[in-house]
């Protein structure tokens, strides 16, 4: 299936998921939903939207620090455009895998060389992943014990699995950088084994491709290690960015006039939802995100507000980026830039483009 048809299918799936979420929400009774929404202070709803905007700005600023270090003429407006394109394609592709190719392509269309674009995005990914793992470790240490009993016990296992996966990813990234020979030998051995098992064809070609990719990664990491000030800025920005993201549910909570649950517990629940969602192979972890959110927050919001809070949170963090991304995508298409062909165009570009 072509990339364009795949993205259309993913959008359709997202649309169906939105309709299902509405059906589930209104199954609780239209009057109940309306009454619950009336209890929500509009100012706090705007504040929740503002938290999401700050999250986007933080993502853009973190990426801009890296882009600016590589290409001093890069404008923040361009970086924010690239950021929102990444948000959109991450939402509509499994494992958020579609964002980076589109971001690389957009950077290139705005004059940035391929190597610089890939290095900037790799820098951003490593710092974001490291900061998220650090956040997750703190929440696991101080709050997981609160959810190890009752109906939430099975979910705590999934939280730990998500944390292990995220930790493994960041550990692998550092292994590739600091233990170059060992990881290269390991990769070669794995390819040879898969070749002997007839799982992959032409293992020698695969080894050549892996060597090229590892060399590119290593050269990019050398740049990252040479920029400690940039990394510190990115890290601090990401700390604030994630704090605002995790705070969205707390803002909704106090917007309903509710009390009794502290800020740290609510953002811990939000982080646990993110950990579970991180390994679900569906666009936006559909189903798992809503289900785990409702499970973790039902004891906090109660039966009356859980459905509405789930809908508001999901709309702000998943469907709103899609809507913004669709607008940006349409505007870029009118200007002659087809993002659906990004991966093919990247492969056609020379390294010094």
- The predicted model scores a pTM of 0.88
- % the chain with pLDDT above 90: 44
Q: Tell me how long the chain is.
A: 353
| pLDDT of amino acid 341 | 55
Residue 118: partners with Cβ closer than 8 Å, 6 or more residues away: 104, 216, 220
pLDDT at residue 82 tops 80: yes
For residue 4, give Cα distances in angstroms to 94, 110, 319, 342, 343.
Answer: 15, 22, 20, 10, 11
| pLDDT of amino acid 246 | 95
Q: Note the pLDDT tens digit of each residue in 120-157.
A: 999 999 999 999 999 999 999 998 888 777 778 888 88
Task: Report how far residue 25's alpha carbon sits from residue 305's, in angstroms, rounded to the nearest whole number.
Answer: 11
Task: Report how far residue 236's alpha carbon sits from residue 224's, in angstroms, rounded to the nearest whole number.
Answer: 16
pLDDT at residue 200 tops 90: no
Question: In terms of Cα–Cα distance, which of 119, 132, 128 is closest to 66?
Answer: 119
HSE of 112, CA atoms in CB hemisphere, 13 A: 29
Extended strands (E) in the chain: none
Question: Per DSSP, what are the bridge partners of residue 94?
Answer: 283
Q: Note the pLDDT tens digit of each residue in 14-61.
A: 888 888 887 877 776 677 788 888 899 999 999 999 999 999 999 999
In this prediction, residues 291-298 reach a mean pLDDT of: 92
Contacts 24+ apart (CB under 8 A), 291-299: 292/155, 292/158, 295/151, 295/152, 295/155, 296/147, 296/152, 296/155, 296/269, 296/272, 297/249, 297/266, 297/269, 299/152
- How much is the mean pLDDT over the chain? 86
The segment with the largest mean pLDDT, out of 30-34, 262-266, 277-281, is 262-266
| pLDDT of amino acid 2 | 53
| pLDDT of amino acid 56 | 97
Task: Report how far residue 167's alpha carbon sits from residue 96's, in angstroms, rounded to the nearest whole number.
Answer: 17
* Domain range summary for the chain, segments of one domain joined by +: 3-173+241-348
What counts of helices (H) and strands (E) characterise the chain? 14, 0
Q: Note the pLDDT tens digit of each residue in 324-352.
A: 998 998 888 777 666 655 555 555 554 44
Tokens of 194: 């898969």
3-state secondary structure of 94: strand
In this prediction, residues 73-81 reach a mean pLDDT of: 94
pLDDT at residue 6 tops 70: no
Tokens 């050269």 correspond to what residue? Answer: 219
| pLDDT of amino acid 86 | 93
């Amino acid at each position: 299936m072509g990339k364009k048809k795949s993205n259309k299918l993913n959008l359709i799936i997202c649309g169906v998921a939105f309709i299902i979420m509405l059906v589930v929400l209104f199954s609780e009774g239209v009057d109940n939903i309306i009454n619950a929404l009336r209890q929500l202070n509009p100012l706090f709803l705007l504040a929740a939207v503002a938290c999401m905007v700050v999250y986007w700005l933080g993502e853009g600023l973190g990426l801009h620090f890296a882009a600016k270090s590589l290409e001093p003429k890069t404008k923040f407006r361009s970086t924010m455009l690239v950021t929102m394109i990444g948000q959109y394609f991450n939402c509509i592709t499994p494992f958020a895998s579609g964002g980076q190719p589109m971001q690389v392509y957009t950077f290139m269309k705005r004059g940035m060389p391929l190597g610089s674009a890939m290095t900037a995005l790799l820098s951003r990914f490593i710092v974001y992943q490291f900061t998220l793992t650090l956040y997750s470790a703190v929440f696991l240490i101080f709050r997981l014990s609160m959810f190890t009993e009752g109906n939430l016990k099975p979910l705590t296992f999934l939280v730990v699995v998500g944390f292990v996966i995220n930790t493994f990813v960041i550990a692998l990234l550092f292994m590739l950088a600091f233990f170059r020979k060992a990881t290269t030998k390991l990769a070669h051995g794995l390819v040879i084994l898969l070749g002997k098992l007839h799982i992959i064809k032409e293992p020698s070609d695969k080894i050549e491709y892996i060597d090229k990719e590892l060399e590119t990664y290593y050269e990019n990491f050398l740049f990252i290690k040479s920029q400690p000030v940039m990394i510190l800025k990115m890290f601090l920005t990401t700390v604030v960015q994630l704090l605002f993201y995790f705070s969205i549910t707390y803002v909704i909570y106090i917007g309903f006039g509710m009390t009794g649950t502290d800020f740290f517990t609510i953002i811990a629940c939000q982080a646990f939802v993110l950990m579970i969602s991180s390994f679900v192979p569906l666009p936006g972890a559909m189903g798992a995100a809503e289900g785990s959110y409702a499970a973790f927050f039902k004891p906090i919001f109660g039966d009356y507000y859980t459905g509405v809070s789930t809908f508001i949170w999901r709309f702000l963090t998943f469907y709103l980026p899609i809507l913004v991304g669709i607008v940006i995508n349409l505007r870029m298409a009118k200007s002659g830039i087809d993002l659906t062909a990004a991966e093919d165009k990247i492969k056609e570009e020379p390294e010094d483009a």
